[in-house]
Amino acid sequence: MAAEQAWGQRFGRILMDDAITATGWGVPREESGQQAWLALEELHKRLQTDACAIAQDMPSAQWLWYLRRLGWLFEGRTQYPASGETMEEIAESVSSLSKVPPPASVWGVPFLYPIDQGVARSLWKLNVVSTLLWGAAVRLLWVGKGAAVRAIPNELPEPVAEPEVVAANAAWDERVAAWGTGFLARAGLYTHSLGRRPEPSELFDVVLLWVRTDDGFSHMSFFPAELRTLRSSELPIEIRWPIALLDLILLLVGYAWSAVTSVGSDLVPLRRTGCRILPESQALKDVGRAIELLSAKRFGGVLPANVSLGTAEDVLARLASPDVSIWPASLGPAIRPVDDNLITEDLYAATARLEVALARPRLDEAQDKAWATAFELCIQDAIDDSEWKPRPELRGLQGHKIKDGHGTVITDIDAIGEKAGRLLIVSCKCRPFSEAVNRGEHQAIREPARLVDEWVSEWGDRLSRIRILPMIGTTDLRKYRELIGPVVTPAPIWSPTLSTRSEITPGLHAAVGASEFGRWIRS
C-alpha cells in the first residue's frame, strides 16, 4: 500500500499544479475582498470538476463501503473547526457523484469488496482531491473573514491576514472546537432535550440520530414533539412537515423499529460505519412499518392527521436521488444501491440531511414572527429545565414588555431566568442560517457579522436602562446582585469585533449560539 500512497501523492501534485495553472494561481498574484473570493472559487470549481471525474472510478455504494472502513485514509488530517466539514465528509459527498451503475449482483451479506492495486489507486485519488477541495474551501472561509490571498509557487494560494484578523479567527476556532454548533443549528432551531434517554412509553415517539464520534458512530434521541416549530398552528403544514423531512424520519424510525424487534440485532457494524447493507425488500418492510407506526402514533398528535406519509417504495426512491453539494459537504444520499437486491442505508447521511430538511424556509412576515416566537419559547424551555428556572411570577413575564419610568417600552422579554441572586434576561435573534456562510461567501459572512455587532450593542444599551429600574412588573430588581443578558442565536455567528465575542460572565459570550447557551445554563 505504501507504493500506492506514493503514487497517489504524485497524482495529487499533478492535479494541484494543473488546477492552479488553469485558474491563474500559477503566477505571482495577490487578491483581496470579494475579488479574492471569486478567484478562489474558480480554483475550487476546477477541483470539483476533477473530483467528479474521479468519482466515476467505481459505483457509489462501493466508494462508501471503503470510506467508512478505511479510517487511515485520512489519518492525521484535522478538521478546520469553523467549517464543520471534514475531509471524510467531502470525500463521501464526492463519492455520491458516481454515475457508474452497480453490478447486477454481489456475493451476499456480509460481503467484502476487494482491495487491489486499481482500487487502492482510486482511493488515493479520492483522498488527494478531497484534501485539495478542503484546503481551497478553508481559504475561501479565511477570505470571507477578511484575509487577502497570495499565490505561492507550487502550492495552493496562501491566506494573508492582519494580526487582528488572525487573532479573531483563532479565538473563533477555539470556541467552535470547544462548544461546537450542535444538531439543529443550521436549521435555525433548538431543543434542550436532544439526546435525552427516552422512557419506555416514548420509544415510538423518538427518532434516532446518528453522529460521528472519535471511534465510529453513535446514536442520540430526538423528540419531534418537543420542537415547537413542528407543532405551531401558526405555520402551514407544508412548512412544518415537508416531504423531505418525512422521508428521512421514516427511514430512521424504520431502522429503529427493525433494531428493537429483530432478535439478535447486531449494532456493531452500524456503530463502526454509520450505515448498513440490507435487502431492499427488508428496507421496504421497515419503512412500511414506520409508516404504520407514525400513522397511528403521530408523535403524540404533533404530526397532523391529514399529512400523508405515502408509500415505502416512493420514500426509498426519493431518498436515493437528492441533490449533492461538495462544499458545504451534504454527504451522499441516504440510500445507495449495492446491486439488484441490496441497498446501503446511510443513517449518518440521513441525519445530516434531516437537519437541512428541518431548516427554516422562506417565510412571510406573520410566519417569520411565529418561527421566531417558537425559538424564544425553546430557549425559555431550556432555562426552565435548568437551575436558572425562574419563580412563577418572574416566569410570567416572558413575552411581556419592559417599560421605563415614563412608560416607554425598553424591550420585550424573550426569555428570563434567575439563579443565586443573578437575573438572566435573554435577547433571542432567530436569524436563519445560510449555507452561503459555510461556503465562505464574502457578503454572507460580513452581513451577519455586522448585524450581530448591532444586536449586541443595542442590547447592551437596553440592559443599561433596565439596570436602573427598581421593578419589572411585581419583581424587585434591587434584590439581584447581577443582571446577565446575552444575545442568543440558533447558530453561532462569527464577528471580528472584540465586544461581541467577549465574555459577559465566565463562560458566556455576549453573542452565543443556542447550543452554547444551553450548555452554559446547565454548567
- Whole-angstrom Cα distance, residue 512 to residue 523? 15
Residue 361 has pLDDT above 90, yes or no: no
- Whole-angstrom Cα distance, residue 225 to residue 456? 32
Report, as an integer, the average pLDDT of 146-174. 88
Report, as an integer, the average pLDDT of 431-448. 81
Q: Are 407 and 466 in contact (CB under 8 A)?
A: no
Least confident of 35-49, 259-273, 342-356: 259-273
- Whole-angstrom Cα distance, residue 266 to residue 382? 35
Task: Give a three-class secondary structure readout of 447-484.
Answer: HHHHHHHHHHHHHHHHHHHHHCCCEECCEEHHHCCEEE
Report pLDDT digits (tens) over 3-21.
888 898 999 999 999 999 9
- Whole-angstrom Cα distance, residue 67 to residue 84? 18
- Whole-angstrom Cα distance, residue 296 to residue 290? 10
- Whether 190 is covered by a domain: the verdict is no
Whole-number pLDDT of residue 25 = 95
Whole-number pLDDT of residue 473 = 82
What residue spans of 302-428 are helical by DSSP H? Answer: 312-319, 347-357, 365-384, 392-395
Whole-number pLDDT of residue 114 = 82
Whole-number pLDDT of residue 167 = 85
Residue 177 has pLDDT above 80, yes or no: no
Nearest residue to 431 via CA among 453, 462, 463: 453
- Whole-angstrom Cα distance, residue 132 to residue 43? 10
Q: Provide the pairing of β-strand 487-489 with 422-428.
A: parallel
% of the chain surpassing 90 pLDDT: 64
- Whole-angstrom Cα distance, residue 478 to residue 99? 68
- Whether 181 is covered by a domain: the verdict is no
Residue 201 has pLDDT above 90, yes or no: no
- Whether 191 is covered by a domain: the verdict is no
- Whole-angstrom Cα distance, residue 334 to residue 232? 28
The parent domain of residue 216 ranges over 200-357
Do 246 and 310 lie in one domain? The reply is yes
In which band, very low, low, confident or very high, does the pLDDT at 262 lie, cut at 50, 70 and 90?
low
- Whether 189 is covered by a domain: the verdict is no
In which band, very low, low, confident or very high, does the pLDDT at 59 lie, cut at 50, 70 and 90?
very high
Per the listing, cell 444599551 goes with 461
Q: Are 165 and 43 in contact (CB under 8 A)?
A: no
**Long-range contact set of residues 31-37: C-beta below 8 Å, sequence gap at least 24:** 31/148, 31/149, 32/143, 32/148, 32/149, 33/148, 33/442, 34/442, 34/443, 36/143, 36/147, 36/148, 36/149, 37/140, 37/143, 37/144, 37/440, 37/441, 37/442
% of the chain surpassing 70 pLDDT: 94
C-alpha pair distances (Å), 233 with each of 229, 239, 342, 353, 432: 9, 11, 41, 25, 20
Do 277 and 375 lie in one domain? The reply is no
Residue 460 has pLDDT above 70, yes or no: yes
Whole-number pLDDT of residue 388 = 98
Residue 81 has pLDDT above 70, yes or no: no
Do 348 and 303 lie in one domain? The reply is yes
Report, as an integer, the average pLDDT of 123-152. 92
In which band, very low, low, confident or very high, does the pLDDT at 41 lie, cut at 50, 70 and 90?
very high
C-alpha pair distances (Å), 81 with each of 84, 148, 170, 181, 323: 6, 20, 10, 10, 25
Do 436 and 317 lie in one domain? The reply is no
In which band, very low, low, confident or very high, does the pLDDT at 475 lie, cut at 50, 70 and 90?
confident
Whole-number pLDDT of residue 108 = 57
Do 384 and 489 lie in one domain? The reply is yes
Q: Are 350 and 210 in contact (CB under 8 A)?
A: yes
Do 49 and 158 lie in one domain? The reply is yes
Report, as an integer, the average pLDDT of 237-249. 95
Do 402 and 342 lie in one domain? The reply is no
In which band, very low, low, confident or very high, does the pLDDT at 446 lie, cut at 50, 70 and 90?
confident
Do 502 and 385 lie in one domain? The reply is yes
Whole-number pLDDT of residue 416 = 97
Report pLDDT digits (tens) over 385-429.
999 999 999 999 999 999 988 889 999 999 999 999 999 999 999
- Whether 195 is covered by a domain: the verdict is no
Q: At what angle do helices 514-522 and 163-179 cross, to 10 degrees?
A: 60
- Whole-angstrom Cα distance, residue 272 to residue 216? 5
| Domain C-terminal end among 299, 326, 357 | 357
- Whether 140 is covered by a domain: the verdict is yes
Do 93 and 207 lie in one domain? The reply is no
Residue 23 has pLDDT above 70, yes or no: yes
Arithmetic mean of pLDDT over the chain: 89
In which band, very low, low, confident or very high, does the pLDDT at 67 lie, cut at 50, 70 and 90?
very high
DSSP state of 302: T
Report pLDDT digits (tens) over 286-331.
999 999 999 998 998 899 999 999 999 999 999 998 889 998 889 9
Helix H or strand E segment including 258: helix 243-261
DSSP state of 208: E
Least confident of 67-81, 105-119, 190-204: 67-81
- Whole-angstrom Cα distance, residue 86 to residue 30? 27
Global pTM value: 0.92
Do 346 and 254 lie in one domain? The reply is yes
DSSP state of 413: -
Report, as an integer, the average pLDDT of 202-213. 88
Cα 372-378-382 angle, rounded to 5 deg: 150
When divided into structural domains, the chain yields a total of 3
Residue 82 has pLDDT above 60, yes or no: no
Q: At a CB cut-off of 8 Å and minimum separation 6, what does 365 contact?
A: none
| Domain C-terminal end among 135, 163, 191 | 163
Whole-number pLDDT of residue 76 = 57
Whole-number pLDDT of residue 174 = 78
- Whether 152 is covered by a domain: the verdict is yes
Do 424 and 338 lie in one domain? The reply is no
- Whether 169 is covered by a domain: the verdict is no
Residue 79 has pLDDT above 80, yes or no: no
Residue 77 has pLDDT above 60, yes or no: no
Report, as an integer, the average pLDDT of 188-206. 87
| Domain C-terminal end among 102, 136, 163 | 163
Report, as an integer, the average pLDDT of 86-91. 89
Do 400 and 460 lie in one domain? The reply is yes
